[in-house]
Structure 1
Amino acid sequence: MAAGGAGGGAQVKSAVRTVELLEYFAARPGMHSLAEVQKAVGYPKSSLYMLLRTLVDLGWVETDATGTRYGIGVRALLVGTSYIDGDEVVAAARPALDRLSEDTAETVLLARLDGTSVVCLATRASQHHLRPVTRVGRRLPVHSTALGKALLSTYPDEQVRRMLPGTLSAPTEHTITDREELIEELHRIREQGYAVDREENTLGLCCFGVAIPYRTPARDAVSCSIPVARLTPARERTVRDVLFDARDRLLLATRRL
């Protein structure tokens, strides 16, 4: 069966349901009962069960020892890894990320815009004992992160308004949740060339980010995250400067992509 897609094309219902199921499990780690899944996705219970059993047989979904609870399978990991392994930007960015990691000794991320989120494509761990941990594949809100704000700043204001949801979530008490206030923040980011989130996404953590302008608007950005306990005005200036250097290196490395 097919249904009309948002772009006017036909969508195969079983394919859409398969993708929605995988996205459901990807967003909710752990194992879930058939009733939990059915309540969330709303599919008829009989067809949902058959679809889940098919995905289990193919390795995309796993079950627990009782065979009654379901979670994401190892095949999803293999496909996700192949995306990273085959991405030209990730490959080209490795030397610049290594250099940024050496220059700062802090946690470094490369991320890509995906709707109202940024998705981590590569990371370099901090050399300090006190450090944030962010895994490849993690999704972060676009409006509360330095990475996201740096990317949003490369879009016109009206397009940003269309991209953002009507209500902005508040991961912390410092998050900007007013859309017009965020637009004003993006104006400042355009002027200074980099974005900062001061405990807006994670308490105790300050992040600095720059967009990589190998295309316009940008889709990728790099950031450096520092616990506020280690942050001083002098340290902030140093991080800003090495981020600008990393941006230039990344732009050079990706200029033919």
Structure 2
Amino acid sequence: MKQSADAGLPHQASIKSLTKVLQILECFSQRDANLTPAEIAARTGLPRATTHRLVSSLRDIGLLEQNGKRDTYKLGMKLFQLGSLVLQNLDLDSHVRPYATQLQLITGENTHLCIFDGAQMALVERQAMNSSGNTMITRIESAPVHCTSVGKAFLAWQPAGLINKLISDSLAERTPYTITDEEALMAELKRIHARGCAFDLQENELNVHCVGAPIRGANGQVFAAVSVSGSAERLPLHRLEGLAGLVMETAHKISLELGWQPGKLPAAQTAFAPHTVL
């Protein structure tokens, strides 16, 4: 028995080391893009000597970059390269685009496929109908998590720690309808989790309404969302509520296509219902 227990020690030590590395990388945010080793140690609770050693190692392999001769660090381009590979390996053309296209054709409204990029929702694809009746596929920029249907659909299935980190960074007022109070936003996320979808009623852009639903990866964790959006005149709340089931069904199909198995617990517990899945 002792030999078996000892055999597991190196594995346990490796897990602890990787956990420390992840803690360091997760210290960085859009607001705190540059940090000193002392600031990283304070955020992680790791000893300063351990922090300096790990930061130096992460710099040497490109996961962190030192800002010139200053004693501050930022996330390295290696992480961007790895993230780009993840996006490419999702194979959006075959796994996701057919469902987004179908959703756009059925609703006649804009559809968006969005992936969380660590700070915001990266809108990797937008499909809209042009004046000739043909579908146009375009790439557009990132969107905030706190005031878009895709962002809130993502947030509502995240652990409390990540939610707190993201909403403490900024709850910028995009329109007079944006929720800028942390307590009010948490209450909204709880309702979204119970409902299964999120609404954006002019919170990000005036005269634009959206409904979005979460997408799960093979590990069961929500990492993306799909939405339908249009003018507030064309998509009043009662029509959004009518489209919600179709959007959630599309998100469910995409999740299955990406390898999610219904009933499989997510990789991390969520803030509102730790043992609940779509």
Q: TM-score range by the shorter chain?
A: 0.5 to 0.7
Runs in 1 of length 4+ with deviation above 4 angstroms? 79-86
Q: Does 1:227 align with 2:213?
A: no
From 163, 177, 181, the equivalent of 1:178 is: 181
Q: Does 1:245 align with 2:216?
A: no
Asked whether the equivalents of residues 110 and 222 of structure 1 are also in contact (C-alpha less than 8 Å), the reply is yes
| Structure 1 residues 100-138: Cα deviation after superposition (integer angstroms, max 9, x where no partner) | 011111100111112231001222114579xxx995251
Q: Are residues 248 and 166 of structure 1, via their aligned partners in 2, closer, same or farther at CA, if it must alter by over 3 Å?
A: closer
Residue 146 of structure 2 is matched in structure 1 by: 143
- Distance in 2, matches of 1:85 and 1:148, equals 21
Asked whether the equivalents of residues 106 and 127 of structure 1 are also in contact (C-alpha less than 8 Å), the reply is no
TM-score by length of 2: 0.60
| Structure 1 residues 233-256: Cα deviation after superposition (integer angstroms, max 9, x where no partner) | 552233112112212221221126
- Distance in 1, matches of 2:231 and 2:131, equals 10
Residue 101 of structure 2 is matched in structure 1 by: 98
Q: Are residues 86 and 166 of structure 1, via their aligned partners in 2, closer, same or farther at CA, if it must alter by over 3 Å?
A: closer
- The CA deviation at 1:216 is 3.9
Q: Secondary structure at the match of 2:122?
A: strand
Q: Work out the number of aligned pairs and report it.
A: 196
- The CA deviation at 1:204 is 0.6
**One-letter code aligned to 2:225:** A
| Structure 1 residues 53-111: Cα deviation after superposition (integer angstroms, max 9, x where no partner) | xxxxxxxxxxxxxxxxxxxxxxxxxx999875543355401111111011111100111
From 184, 196, 199, the equivalent of 1:193 is: 196
- Map 1:151-162 to 2 at 5 A: 151-162=154-165
| Structure 1 residues 184-229: Cα deviation after superposition (integer angstroms, max 9, x where no partner) | 0000001110001111111110011000123443111101111001
Residue 123 of structure 1 is matched in structure 2 by: 126
**One-letter code aligned to 1:116:** A
Gapped runs of 5+ residues in structure 1?
Answer: 21-41, 45-78
Asked whether the equivalents of residues 175 and 201 of structure 1 are also in contact (C-alpha less than 8 Å), the reply is yes
Asked whether the equivalents of residues 209 and 236 of structure 2 are also in contact (C-alpha less than 8 Å), the reply is no
- Distance in 2, matches of 1:252 and 1:16, equals 32
**One-letter code aligned to 2:254:** L
- Distance in 2, matches of 1:119 and 1:134, equals 15
Q: Name the Cα RMSD after superposition.
A: 3.4
**One-letter code aligned to 2:221:** P
Gapped runs of 5+ residues in structure 2?
Answer: 1-20, 26-53, 70-81, 262-278
Q: Secondary structure at the match of 2:146?
A: coil
- Distance in 2, matches of 1:169 and 1:182, equals 12
